[in-house]
Amino acid sequence: MRLDDMDTSDVEVDDQRGSGRGGFGFPMGGGGLPLGRQMGCGTLALVIIIALVFGVNPMRILGGDMAPTPTQIAPQSEASAAGKGCDTDAASKFSCQTLKSTTLTWSRLFPDGQYHPPHIAFYTGGGQSGCGAAQSAMGPFYCPADEGVYLDTDFYGELTQRFGAAGDFAQAYVIAHEVGHHVQKLTGVADKVQAAQQSASRAQANRLQVAMELQADCYAGVWAAQNRERMEPGDVEEGLRAAHQIGDDVLQKASQGVVVPESFTHGSAEQRMNWLKKGLESGDPAQCDTFGR
Ligand SMILES: [Zn+2]
């Protein structure tokens, strides 16, 4: 994906790196919402997956970075400076450029003026989100409470370092997927699903969760399709491969040796690939009705 001409000067960034706002010893008032409120698409799983996809040693990712950064009382610069934090390193730059690209795309796809972008938050090791503490092991996630896409840049740094700077489609796909959850918030689907889950059985709640995740996959595909001229040979395959590797069945098989479909929260490899493909082929969010079928 070629995104290097994206102007990131108006991307709203919450750069928590080096701010002393570590997620462990320094909770922001009230301690935030229960983790369940987050759309945890990443979780530990994602770290392992990326490891599978790219051959990074998961212990390397989970190792040092997991240690809480010592927290000191530091002035809390809550104000998100537009564009500031995007230029810190190649990983942040590419993340901001991807986010900017999704903003342009979804602004086109939503009725006039109905779309506003999420902000992007960078942290290392631990950070704070409106949904509670952010930890690297959770992988990238979207917090609906503060409309933020949270990324541990050490994790991305690792990817970037290993696979060359900007241009990694799998990395962009992950961000586009999180933005997909933001779209679900704006369309009201996220609230509806959450309400339905309150009175649902565990299995039904899981099915709804899977439908949410698959729709976010499909939306990621829609974003890519809307930017087809920027795609490079191999991008589709790379995206599909990533979607396959983060299928619940593949992950469960790898972690526990058996597959328990009732406990799926993200969908099987086949489902994830199919919905991403559906978005990629149609470029049409209306094709992403993962709830109806
Ligand atoms: Zn997700």
Is the separation of the CB atoms in 190 and 212 below 8 Å? yes
pLDDT of residue 168: 72
pLDDT 10s digits, 16-25:
987 655 444 3
Strand 132-135, strand 141-143: pairing: unpaired
Q: Is residue 159 part of a domain?
A: yes
pLDDT of residue 157: 65
**If DSSP codes are grouped into helix, strand and coil, which group holds residue 129?**
strand
pLDDT 10s digits, 212-231:
999 999 999 999 999 999 99
Which residue range(s) make up the domain with 188? Answer: 13-20+39-60+82-287
pLDDT 10s digits, 21-76:
544 433 333 333 333 445 556 444 555 555 555 555 444 444 333 333 333 333 33
Expressed in angstroms and rounded, the spacing between residue 73 Cα and the centre of ligand 1 is 33
Q: Is residue 32 part of a domain?
A: no
Q: What is the strand order of the sheet 119-123 is part of?
A: 13-15, 119-123, 148-152, 141-143
Expressed in angstroms and rounded, the spacing between residue 72 Cα and the centre of ligand 1 is 32
- The residues of the chain scoring below 70 in pLDDT are 19-83, 137-138, 155-167, 293
Among 129, 128, 135, which Cα is nearest to 68's?
135
pLDDT of residue 14: 92
Q: Is residue 278 part of a domain?
A: yes
Expressed in angstroms and rounded, the spacing between residue 75 Cα and the centre of ligand 1 is 32
The whole-angstrom separation of Cα 182 and Cα 24 is 26
Q: Is residue 77 part of a domain?
A: no
Expressed in angstroms and rounded, the spacing between residue 209 Cα and the centre of ligand 1 is 9
Q: Is residue 47 part of a domain?
A: yes
pLDDT of residue 155: 67
pLDDT of residue 267: 86
The whole-angstrom separation of Cα 116 and Cα 32 is 24
Domains of the chain: total? 1
Expressed in angstroms and rounded, the spacing between residue 230 Cα and the centre of ligand 1 is 24
The full length of the chain comes to 293
Expressed in angstroms and rounded, the spacing between residue 215 Cα and the centre of ligand 1 is 9
pLDDT of residue 100: 97
Expressed in angstroms and rounded, the spacing between residue 213 Cα and the centre of ligand 1 is 5
pLDDT of residue 136: 73
The whole-angstrom separation of Cα 255 and Cα 169 is 25
Note the pTM of the prediction, 2 decimals.
0.79
Is the separation of the CB atoms in 94 and 166 below 8 Å? yes
Expressed in angstroms and rounded, the spacing between residue 173 Cα and the centre of ligand 1 is 11
Q: Is residue 8 part of a domain?
A: no
Q: Is residue 127 part of a domain?
A: yes
Q: Is residue 292 part of a domain?
A: no
